[in-house]
Every structure is written in C-alpha cells, then in structure tokens.
Amino acid sequence: MNNQIDTGEGQGPGGRRFFARPRICPFCSEKNMKIDYKQQDVLRRFVTDDGKIRPRRQTGVCARHQRALATAVKRARHIALLPYSGEVLR
C-alpha cells in the first residue's frame, strides 16, 4: 500500500479512490480529554457494535492511550456500564 500524495496520473479515470491520511490521537491532541471508565459515551466510540475494542489502526489512538483505553473498557464492562457483547445472540 502506497501512502504517497495522489497526482491522479496513471490511476485510471478517477484517480485513487482512497487516501490514508495520518491519524492523530484524540487524547494527545486534546489535553483536557481524559480516559475514564465512568465516561461511557467516550468509551462507546472505541467499541464496535459487537462489543469488541476497536484496534489502533481504526481509531488512530497512540499506543499509550490504547492500553489505557482497553483497561477502561474492561473496567466499565466489569461494573456493567458497557456490555461484553453487542446484541442478544441467538
């Protein structure tokens, strides 16, 4: 996969369809935003509909904050603020 700037030459009629821009950690860029297991609205952004923790490559969170985020999600699950799974499995 090539992450160079697209000039639109030689890529077909429409050029490149997708350009992966560098992601910036939302917790590093906003210093007042904290990771807390009690803030379920913040944590839900980093959990899929199935209840899985989304990986760093999808969310753009740095390694330090991804570890803290995983711990916070697990704590929120333990005290039933977040579900372990998404919808009811049949």
Per-residue pLDDT reduced to its tens digit, 13-58: 666 677 777 789 999 999 898 999 999 999 999 999 999 999 999 9
Instruction: Please name the amino acid found at residue 65.
Output: H
Q: 9 lies in a domain?
A: no
Q: Report the pLDDT value the prediction gives residue 16, as an integer from 0 to 100.
A: 65
Q: How far does the chain reach from its first CA to its final CA, in angstroms?
A: 39
Q: Which range, of 4-13, 44-53, 61-70, averages the lowest pLDDT?
A: 4-13
Model-level pTM greater than 0.85? no
Q: Is 70 a member of any domain?
A: yes
In a domain, 31, yes or no: yes
Residue 89 lies in a domain: no
Residue 53, helix vs strand vs coil: strand
Instruction: Give dist(CA 53, CA 31) in Å, integer.
Output: 23
Is 1 a member of any domain?
Answer: no
pLDDT for 47 equals: 94
Any domain includes 38: yes
Q: What is the per-residue pLDDT for 55?
A: 94
Q: How far apart are CA 49 and CA 70, in angstroms?
A: 16
- Is residue 7 assigned to a domain? no
CATH label of the domain that carries residue 55? 4.10.640.10
pLDDT for residue 10 is more than 90: no
Q: What is the number of domains present in the chain?
A: 1
**What does each C-alpha distance from 73 to 9, 33, 77, 80, 84 come to in angstroms?**
45, 16, 6, 10, 10
Write out the residue range of the structural domain in which residue 68 sits. Answer: 26-78
